[in-house]
């Protein structure tokens, strides 16, 4: 299989054009630059958009759900066959711990298989408003979709937008994050291996900057933008999309609270919070970033989390047994170390994260941190820190827990830890978050919708509702005589 390392992929052809130079691909576990990828341009982005438009308008893709289903199944098989290699590449490229990287690739081919089924289950409706007056409601693919994704989960975040878009019959232009062009190209190569996929239905253009992203959010031939990334960039995309009234699907930042009631199984809660806060090295939108513990278990939860964080095995993402790998790059490592410094001055630092020992000096490590704070308005509580840093806050009763949990502008995910069903149901219904887990954290499923309230986004991905982003409903009216 051809896999042109980090190249653009347009109309079924790999392109190594680098009008804006090359970007070095760095391994954050040891700071080495192990590859380079070409940066695209406005022109290349335009070329990819027109290739997608041409494929959408002139191939059988938009009207052949069985073809789309077969393509997604074959793509899933190729991705599965390359799972170990792609997981290893991802661990090198973004520092994701190998076990989690393997899980991510498996989630990617699982997702493609799910949407292969959904592709054959999209139906319209009919309505007879008066005798012989028929309304036919058809569901049609929206057209050309731009898929803009971040670096932290470059397989699943890509597949969870591309698979429903393809299942619906759309053509796509992908823009990967500048940090992960190789993993992205490896997934593109899996599409390239599917001979029945019409050329131009799947395209991808790299960049380091915002030129390609700007084309993909303003070009008049783009119908839908499926964006995953920060709330800050989401707002720019939404503004850019306004001029041509594009449909936008936004999966944005988060600040997930884990609420631990006195009635919780604290063993389980502590294990879930540790795992849920360190996933993707603390750089996951749904990571636990706030722990809210009820008065009667506060000291116990704080002490046990402190011990759990202090015992974390930190190291190279590709080393067996490592729980926490590196931060994506040096600027983000420095940003997080500064935040920890500030948390030491402005809150009570219970666990102080550092860049790790000498053996970690070449990589961009930050060991776990936990700070105690009693001010929900403080920016350390309000802002997405995006690293292995959690706050621990105290609450007295259910009402206070809900008020504090809802006190940020984010609303992506939360978890509630209690063995009291009444408490868990009452609390979950009052939380303004798109997902609420009970006694667990970070359980994401292809079949079940995910998405945010408030500044965490618009729309849902995963599940059948993801199809809504990529389908239009058309009313065809006719009258039948007699
Ligand atoms: P980011 O917003 O900086 O970048 C995301 C993507 O947008 C990248 O491909 C980037 O190159 C591109 N981009 C940047 N500026 C752009 C512009 N002006 N126009 C078009 N594209 C532009 O985010 P990041 O730092 O790469 O990723 C981390 C963020 O993503 C966090 O906030 C995290 O919570 C969020 N995230 C959300 C989800 C979710 O499902 N809600 C999943 C993963 C990550």
Output the pLDDT for position 5.
72
Which residues lie across from 66 on neighbouring strands? none
Output the pLDDT for position 481.
82
Which residues lie across from 10 on neighbouring strands? 13
**Out of 285, 355, 384, 393, which one is annotated catalytic?**
285
Output the pLDDT for position 6.
81
Output the pLDDT for position 433.
98
> What Cα–Cα distance (Å) separates residue 220 from each residue in 40, 48, 140, 173, 234?
19, 13, 19, 14, 19
Residue 44: alpha-carbon gap to chain centroid = 25
Separation between Cα atoms, residue 68 and residue 73, nearest integer Å: 9
Total Cβ atoms within 10 A of residue 71: 25
- Model confidence, pTM: 0.97
Q: How far, in Å, from the CA of 395 to the mean position of ligand 1?
A: 33
Q: How far, in Å, from the CA of 80 to the mean position of ligand 1?
A: 26
Separation between Cα atoms, residue 183 and residue 417, nearest integer Å: 36
Residue 322: alpha-carbon gap to chain centroid = 23
Output the pLDDT for position 47.
98
Separation between Cα atoms, residue 176 and residue 186, nearest integer Å: 12
Nearest-CA neighbor of 298 among 417, 427, 443, 422?
417
User: Is the beta carbon of 214 within 6 A of some atom in ligand 1?
Assistant: yes
Separation between Cα atoms, residue 354 and residue 453, nearest integer Å: 33
Output the pLDDT for position 60.
94
Separation between Cα atoms, residue 226 and residue 248, nearest integer Å: 6
Ligand 1 atom showing the smallest separation from residue 412 Cα = 41
Contacts of 460 (CB under 8 A, 6+ apart): 434, 449, 450, 451, 466, 468
User: Is the beta carbon of 174 within 6 A of some atom in ligand 1?
Assistant: no
Output the pLDDT for position 358.
85
Nearest-CA neighbor of 161 among 473, 364, 457, 474?
457
Which residues lie across from 294 on neighbouring strands? 395
Residues 23 and 181 sit within 8 Å (Cβ to Cβ): yes
Which residues lie across from 247 on neighbouring strands? 224
Q: What is the pLDDT of residues 409-437, one digit of tens each?
A: 999 999 999 999 999 999 999 999 999 99
Catalytic residue status for 455: no
Q: How far, in Å, from the CA of 150 to the mean position of ligand 1?
A: 5
User: Is the beta carbon of 412 within 6 A of some atom in ligand 1?
Assistant: yes
Output the pLDDT for position 219.
98
Nearest-CA neighbor of 254 among 462, 405, 411, 148?
411
Output the pLDDT for position 360.
87
Output the pLDDT for position 482.
63
Ligand 1 atom showing the smallest separation from residue 208 Cα = 11
User: Is the beta carbon of 151 within 6 A of some atom in ligand 1?
Assistant: yes
8 phi/psi in degrees, rounded to 5? -75, 155
User: Is the beta carbon of 152 within 6 A of some atom in ligand 1?
Assistant: yes
Catalytic residue status for 251: yes
Total Cβ atoms within 10 A of residue 84: 13
> Percentage of the chain surpassing pLDDT 70?
99
User: Is the beta carbon of 286 within 6 A of some atom in ligand 1?
Assistant: no
327 phi/psi in degrees, rounded to 5? -80, 155
Output the pLDDT for position 233.
98
Separation between Cα atoms, residue 167 and residue 215, nearest integer Å: 24
Q: Mutate which of 160, 233, 412 to test ligand 1's pocket (most atoms within 8 Å of Cβ)?
A: 233
User: Is the beta carbon of 254 within 6 A of some atom in ligand 1?
Assistant: yes
463: left (phi over 0), alpha (psi -120 to 50) or beta: left
Nearest-CA neighbor of 62 among 116, 148, 139?
139
**Out of 111, 251, 355, 455, which one is annotated catalytic?**
251
Q: How far, in Å, from the CA of 132 to the mean position of ligand 1?
A: 51
User: Is the beta carbon of 20 within 6 A of some atom in ligand 1?
Assistant: no
Total Cβ atoms within 10 A of residue 17: 16
Q: Mutate which of 229, 239, 463 to test ligand 1's pocket (most atoms within 8 Å of Cβ)?
A: 229
Separation between Cα atoms, residue 26 and residue 277, nearest integer Å: 24
Q: How far, in Å, from the CA of 439 to the mean position of ligand 1?
A: 29
Ligand 1 atom showing the smallest separation from residue 216 Cα = 20
**Which residues, given as ranges, of the chain have pLDDT below 70?**
1-4, 482
User: Is the beta carbon of 161 within 6 A of some atom in ligand 1?
Assistant: no
Total Cβ atoms within 10 A of residue 370: 26
Separation between Cα atoms, residue 3 and residue 308, nearest integer Å: 41
461 phi/psi in degrees, rounded to 5? -115, 175
């Amino acid at each position: 299989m051809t896999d042109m390392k980090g190249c653009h992929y347009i109309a079924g052809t790999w392109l190594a054009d680098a009008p804006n130079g090359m970007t070095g691909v760095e391994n954050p576990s040891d700071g080495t630059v192990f590859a380079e990828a070409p940066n695209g341009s406005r022109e290349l982005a335009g070329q990819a958009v027109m290739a997608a438009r041409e494929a959408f308008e002139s191939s059988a893709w938009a009207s052949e759900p069985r073809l789309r289903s077969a393509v997604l199944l074959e793509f899933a098989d190729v991705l599965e066959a390359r799972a170990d290699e792609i997981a290893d590449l991802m661990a090198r490229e973004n520092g994701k711990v190998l076990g989690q990287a393997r899980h991510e690739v498996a989630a990617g081919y699982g997702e493609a298989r799910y949407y292969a089924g959904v592709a054959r289950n999209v139906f319209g409706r009919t309505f007879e408003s008066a005798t012989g007056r028929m309304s036919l409601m058809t569901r049609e693919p929206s057209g050309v979709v731009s898929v803009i994704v971040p670096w932290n989960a470059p397989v699943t975040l890509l597949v969870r937008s591309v698979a429903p878009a393809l299942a619906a019959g759309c053509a796509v232009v992908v823009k990967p994050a500048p940090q992960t062009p190789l993993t992205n190209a490896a997934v593109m190569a899996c599409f390239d291996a599917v001979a029945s996929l019409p050329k131009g239905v799947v395209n991808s253009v790299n960049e380091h900057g915002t030129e390609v992203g700007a084309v993909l959010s303003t070009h008049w031939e783009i119908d839908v933008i499926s964006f995953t990334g920060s709330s800050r960039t989401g707002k720019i995309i939404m503004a850019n999309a306004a001029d041509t009234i594009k449909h936008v699907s936004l999966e944005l930042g988060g600040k997930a609270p884990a609420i631990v009631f006195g009635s919780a199984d604290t063993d389980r809660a502590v294990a879930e919070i540790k795992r849920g806060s360190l996933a993707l090295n603390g750089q996951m939108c749904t990571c636990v970033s706030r722990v809210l513990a009820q008065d009667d278990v506060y000291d116990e939860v704080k002490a046990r989390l402190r011990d759990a964080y202090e015992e974390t095995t930190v190291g190279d993402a590709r080393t067996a047994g490592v729980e926490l790998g590196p931060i994506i790059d040096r600027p983000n490592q420095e940003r997080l170390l500064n935040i920890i410094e500030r948390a030491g001055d402005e809150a009570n630092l219970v666990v102080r994260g550092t860049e790790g020992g000498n053996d970690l000096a070449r990589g961009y490590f930050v060991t776990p941190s936990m700070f105690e704070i009693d001010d929900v308005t403080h920016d350390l509580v309000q802002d997405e820190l995006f690293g292995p840093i959690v706050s621990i806050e105290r609450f007295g009763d259910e009402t206070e827990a809900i008020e504090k949990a809802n006190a940020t502008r984010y609303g992506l995910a939360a978890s509630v830890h209690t063995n009291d069903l009444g408490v868990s149901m009452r609390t979950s219904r009052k939380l303004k978050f798109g997902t609420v887990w009970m006694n667990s954290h970070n359980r994401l499923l292809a079949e079940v919708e995910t998405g945010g309230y408030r500044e965490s986004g618009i729309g849902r991905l995963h599940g059948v509702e993801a199809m809504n982003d990529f389908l239009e409903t058309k009313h065809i009216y006719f009258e039948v005589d007699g």
